[in-house]
Structure 1
C-alpha cells in the first residue's frame, strides 16, 4: 500500500534535515512519499527540503501561507492520493520505525494513532512535569466532553486509510493545535475504528508549545468543538450531559480570571 507521510513545518531549518535523513533511510519503500507542508516559513526550511528533494524524488514540498498545523495538514491531505496518509512532527520525536508500525496497524482498521501514555510506551527522556500534568488534564477533558476513548489525542503521529481521510476531511474545521481532537472526534462520530498503538517517543528540545498558555487556549477550543458537536444532529451522536460541560466551562473561566489577576 502506498504511504504518504506528511510533515507540517514552520521554521524548522535546524531539525527537518535530520528528520528527513532518518525517515528516508528507514522508510525505503519506493511507494512512500515524504510530503513537507511548509507553513509560511521565513527561514531556510524550504531550501533544506529542496536539497533532500534533489537527492530523493520521494520528497515533495508544498508551500502555504500561514495556515497553522491543522490548516497545512488538511491541504496536504487533500492533495494526496496514497492508500495511507500519515502525519508526523518535523522534530523527529517519533522514530520512523514507529510511524511504519502505525501504517501496518492502519492497514487493518480505519487508522492508527501513537500513544505515549500506554504502559508499553517507551520515552527515553522524561517529559517536563508541567507538560505531563497539563497533557493529562487535557486528555481527561477530551474524554469527559467528547467521549473519545483515547489516552493521548495530541501525540503528533497518526496514519489513516484513504477512505477515512476522504470521509472526515470535509467535516474538519480546526486549524490550530485542536486539529488532532477534531480529526479523532469526526472519525469516531462517523463510525471509523482507529487503533491506539504504544510508541517510542523521544522528547525534543525547542518545543513551541507553552504548557500553560496553549493549554488554556486549547481548553476554550475544546468547548467550541463540544458545542459544534451538539449542533451536528444529523450524525445522530448523543450529546454529552450538560452538567459535564458546565463544570468544564466554569473551570476554564476560573483559570482565565486567575490568570488575569496575576497579570
Structure 2
C-alpha cells in the first residue's frame, strides 16, 4: 500500500481570495483549526522562500479546511484502524520525533563559520587550473573494460556502449558524458592519463565500480572558483550532515544491539 503526501498549497476547491485574510480560529463540523496551526504552516512556507500575502494565508486556510473535512470522513470510515495505515502513522511519528531531536542536537552543536571557511579554503586550494570534458564507461572487471575498449577501437559508438554497458546510472542516461570536470576533483594519476589522450583514444583506469574506460573530449582553462558566499550554505549543509551522521554512528556504537 502506498501513501502519498498531499501538496500543501494545491487545493482543488476554488474559494475566492480574501482581501485581508488575517488568521483566526476556524471550526469545521465541530473540529477546531487554530490560528496558531495556520501560522505554523505559514512559517514553513515563508522559510522556503514564499512571501506572506493575503492570498497565501487564504490558501493555507482553504487547504486546512479541505484536509479537515477529508480527515473527518476518513475517521468515520475507520481508515486509521487499518494495519498498514496504523504502521505508516507510527513510522511517521518516529521519523518526526527523531528529526526534531537531531535538529535540537545541531542547535546545541552548530557548525561554526570557521569550520565552513576551513573547508572552503581547502577546496579552493585544490581547485585545478584546467577542466577536462570526460566520457566514461564504468564496468566491474578489467576484462570487460578491455573488451569495450576494443569495440571502441573498431568504431562502435561510445554513447551506445555507455547506455548499454555502464554501471553508472547517469552514464546510461547521457551516453557516458560526464561534462567538464575540474582537474582538482580527480586523482592525479587519472589527470595524467586523460591529458595524454588525443582524438578518440581511450584508456582504462580504476574507478568506484571497478574499472572505467575514459576518453578526453577536450581541455579548457577552468573558471574561477566560486565565491565563499555562494557556496557557504552548501558547505554548511554538508558539514551538518556529517556531524549528524557521526553522532548517530556514536549512538549506535554505544547501543546494545542483539
TM-score bucket of the superposed structures, by smaller chain: under 0.3
Query: What TM-score do the two structures reach when normalised by structure 1?
Result: 0.20
Q: Rg bigger for which structure?
A: 2
Write 1 or 2 for the structure with the bigger share of helix.
2
Query: What TM-score do the two structures reach when normalised by structure 2?
Result: 0.20
The higher-RCO structure (CA 8 Å, 6+ apart) is 1
